[in-house]
Amino acid sequence: MAKKKSKPFAHTKRTFRNVADILRFAKPHWRGFVLTYALMALSSIASSGRIIIMYPIFTRIIPATAEETGGMTGKIQKALESQGWLKDRMDGVTDALNTQTQHLVPDSWLDPDFPGDRDRYATLFTVFFMFVLAAAILAFTSYAVGMVATRTALRVLMDVRESLCRSLLDQPVAFYDQGTRGDVIQRMLGDVEAYSAGINLVLRDVSKGFLHVTITMGIMVMVSWKLALICCLGIPFLFPIRKMALKTLKRAHKRQEESAKRAELVMQILSGIRTVKAFHTEKRRVAEFRRADEKVTRRALKAQAAKSQAAALTDLVNNSLAILLACGGGWLLMQGKLGISIGELALFLGLTLNLYQPIKRLIRQYNNLQDSMASIERTTEYLNLEPGYPDAPDATAFPGLRDSIRFDRLDFEYIQGQPVLQDVSFEIPIGHTVALVGPSGGGKSTLCDLLLRFHEPKSGEILVDGKPLRSFTRESFLQKTAVVTQTPFLFHTSIRENIKQGKLDATDEEIMDAARAAQMHDYIISQPQGYEGYVGEGGVRLSGGQRQRITIARALVRNPEILILDEATASLDTESEKAVQAALERLQEGRTTLVVAHRLSTVRHADQILVLDGGRIVEQGTHEGLIAQRGIYSKLVELQDLSPATAPDTDTP
């Protein structure tokens, strides 16, 4: 199969598109960049100015006439005596400055046989002071560029991180179910750091190098366009360098992909550290990590190889052009065909040497930019994600439940062709409790997720007071909703802050009341730090039952109108379950509640119980009515009455 050829300028367009993505974040900080570029231009002028300042040494101090050189004749004399356009201009500036420095020349330095000695010595002082001034300007601008550009770039990066965080949090739960945490973490941390390098390269390093090269080349063309044409011999070498840059970009992409896999492996090891320890698989996990790390290293070496090839080629071209200019320019000068003086030739060569390091850095920075482009593209991909299930343009704030919540003929599937819910319809009147029970995989938790708008149904609709749920803004609806999930999750902060997640402006009294209702207050105050005590990563310092009761307190402090309890008491021991269940029943009074439960003892008093099996409602009614039907619910009750699951948990409060 023939290899598909890429379009000639596709890579260039891709680079400009990536740079444009960076610039859209730079726009609010344009003042900082304008100042940076102005300082860069001044720095470049000062750098080239150091070379130009040396020119009077060749024209006013070093002998430049046939008499002073022993009577040279022919083409060499003609070359030495030739005058370029620069001499008249520099002589005018030097004469004006020498009037200020002549008084610094002591008479003891002067030779009576050379009347021009005072002017020559004054020229030395003039060149010295001007060079010091140029060096001072160069030092100041280097410092100022570093500070201003870094400060501005860091502020741009803060905006990028904020936008990336917002973009990721705007994604639906399905986004995280389908992807890997390692890839998200790699893009959020590793790729963003490379994005930072890209910002500095685009907005400082590459720009500074480009300005320096452009300004210096402009001066070189003014000195001698013929010699400048010799420099153009290096242009054809830009094409292989460009290909190497494209190779760097491709290899960097593969390196970042392998880095994401490595991050995912680390996440799995740390998340399952207890399992790793329990089954003594440390050596196997280390070997897996080593293999993943080796893949990243190989990709990194390949990317570096492409960058090193470009750097080596740049060195070869620069050194070749330098000797070509020196020898070719000298030959043209001796033949009298150059049209400039020997001083201007020396000036041109000095400017060429002044370009060597900037061009080398510019090529290296361009390759580094391609290396960063992989991360820029990966970060931009997440930055440009469309929000998952956005609010409708005409969505309004949810005023509160007035009548009922109705699930109307809902169908849903996570994987196409594999339905999870099929034609599910039921209603929760305001202030009522509806319980969802049934075998695992029946779609109970999915119904809760749909109500929270974690997902959108394939067909059908959820109606709130007769209006589609999507007609209300998601934020306003969730403000009047609280949820306790099957798996308790706590943030690595204090108990107080974890409870306050339910209501950020909750008072201390409200927090303690919620903890009392969740049967946690006595335990909390018995600890040395009380409510300020940290729970550890994921709540590791607490038992499973304690973690669940804090999440219940988090829901209680919210004082919601709509309550979702997805296996809310599953982690509690029997004694605590009874106490918390009583608190939940008090909380449910006058509130609309959707309960998912496997422990059927917790839903006996629900206004309506729905039995789901295979994504369909197969039974519905009260506890007593369903037992009388002698169907699935009745069998589940019998099984739980006989199951050891009804024995008290060993988890202590």
Listed residue (586, 583, 590) closest to 562, CA to CA: 590
Q: Are 605 and 623 in contact (CB under 8 A)?
A: yes
Residue 462: per-residue pLDDT = 94
Q: Are 93 and 101 in contact (CB under 8 A)?
A: no
Q: Are 568 and 552 in contact (CB under 8 A)?
A: yes
Which residue did the predictor score with more confidence, 212 or 275? Answer: 212
Residue 205: per-residue pLDDT = 73
Q: Are 446 and 455 in contact (CB under 8 A)?
A: yes
Mean pLDDT across the stretch 484-488? 79
Mean pLDDT across the stretch 556-562? 88
- Determine the Cα–Cα distance for residues 317 and 314; give it in Å rounded to an integer: 5
Residue 643: per-residue pLDDT = 40
Task: Give me the helices (H) in 338-455, please.
Answer: 342-383, 444-451
What's the token pair of residue 425? Answer: 């319809």
- Radius of gyration over every alpha carbon of the chain, rounded to an integer in angstroms: 38
Residue 428: per-residue pLDDT = 94
Beta-carbon contacts of 274 under 8 Å, excluding residues fewer than 6 positions away, are none
What is the number of alpha carbons within 13 Å of residue 428 lying toward its C-beta? 28
Q: What integer best gives the mean pLDDT of the chain?
A: 79
Mean pLDDT across the stretch 570-575? 66
pLDDT-wise least confident of 141-150, 286-295, 552-561, 571-580: 571-580
With 50 as the cut, is the pLDDT of residue 652 above it? no
Whole-Å CA distances, 605 to 18, 143, 429, 435, 628 = 60, 74, 15, 9, 16
Which CATH number is associated with domain 397-480+607-653?
A: 3.40.50.300
| 467-468: strand order across its sheet | 418-429, 404-415, 459-464, 467-468
Cβ neighbours around 177 below 10 Å, total: 10
Backbone φ and ψ for 246, nearest 5 degrees, come out as -65, -40
Q: Are 411 and 422 in contact (CB under 8 A)?
A: yes
Q: What is the DSSP letter of 389?
A: S
- List the domain boundaries for the chain: 23-158+173-383, 397-480+607-653
Whole-Å CA distances, 576 to 219, 235, 579 = 84, 79, 5
- Per-residue pLDDT reduced to its tens digit, 338-386: 666 666 777 777 777 777 777 777 777 777 777 777 777 888 888 888 8
Residue 12: per-residue pLDDT = 60
What's the token pair of residue 65? Answer: 């006439």
Whole-Å CA distances, 640 to 167, 581, 627, 644 = 45, 18, 13, 8
Beta-carbon contacts of 557 under 8 Å, excluding residues fewer than 6 positions away, are 499, 500, 502, 503, 506, 510, 511, 513, 514
Backbone φ and ψ for 534, nearest 5 degrees, come out as -80, 145
Q: Are 344 and 224 in contact (CB under 8 A)?
A: yes
Beta-carbon contacts of 290 under 8 Å, excluding residues fewer than 6 positions away, are none
- Determine the Cα–Cα distance for residues 201 and 307; give it in Å rounded to an integer: 15
> Which residue type does 478 have?
L
Q: State the first-to-last Cα distance of the chain, in angstroms, to the nearest integer.
A: 68
Residues comprising the chain, all counted: 653
Write down the residue that tokens 């880095």 correspond to.
259
Q: Are 387 and 474 in contact (CB under 8 A)?
A: no
Listed residue (314, 319, 316) closest to 365, CA to CA: 314
- Per-residue pLDDT reduced to its tens digit, 407-439: 999 999 888 888 999 999 999 999 999 999 988
Q: Are 294 and 286 in contact (CB under 8 A)?
A: no
Task: Give me the helices (H) in 54-172, please.
Answer: 55-56, 74-81, 85-101, 117-169
With 70 as the cut, is the pLDDT of residue 528 above it? yes
Backbone φ and ψ for 185, nearest 5 degrees, come out as -65, -40
- Determine the Cα–Cα distance for residues 519 and 546; give it in Å rounded to an integer: 9
Residue 468: per-residue pLDDT = 92
Residue 274 pLDDT class (50, 70, 90 cuts): low
- Per-residue pLDDT reduced to its tens digit, 33-73: 889 888 988 988 888 888 888 888 877 776 544 444 444 44
Beta strand segments in 418-492, E: 418-429, 433-437, 459-464, 467-468, 481-484
pLDDT-wise least confident of 462-476, 496-510, 578-592: 578-592
Residue 337 pLDDT class (50, 70, 90 cuts): low
- Determine the Cα–Cα distance for residues 566 and 648; give it in Å rounded to an integer: 21
Measured in whole angstroms, how far is the alpha carbon of residue 574 from the centre of its chain?
Answer: 47
| 608-613: strand order across its sheet | 481-484, 562-566, 592-596, 433-437, 608-613, 616-621
- Per-residue pLDDT reduced to its tens digit, 72-85: 444 444 444 454 55
Which residue did the predictor score with more confidence, 67 or 281? Answer: 281
With 70 as the cut, is the pLDDT of residue 580 above it? no
What's the token pair of residue 320? Answer: 């070749």
Listed residue (206, 204, 205, 216) closest to 354, CA to CA: 216
Measured in whole angstroms, how far is the alpha carbon of residue 618 from the centre of its chain?
Answer: 48
Residue 235: per-residue pLDDT = 62
CATH 1.20.1560.10 for the 23-158+173-383 domain, yes or no:
yes
Which residue did the predictor score with more confidence, 172 or 514? Answer: 514
pTM, two decimals, is 0.67
Residue 641: per-residue pLDDT = 65
Cβ neighbours around 455 below 10 Å, total: 19
Mean pLDDT across the stretch 394-419? 91
With 70 as the cut, is the pLDDT of residue 630 above it? yes
Residue 430: per-residue pLDDT = 92
Residue 237: per-residue pLDDT = 63
What share of the chain has pLDDT > 70, as a percent? Answer: 81
With 90 as the cut, is the pLDDT of residue 610 above it? yes
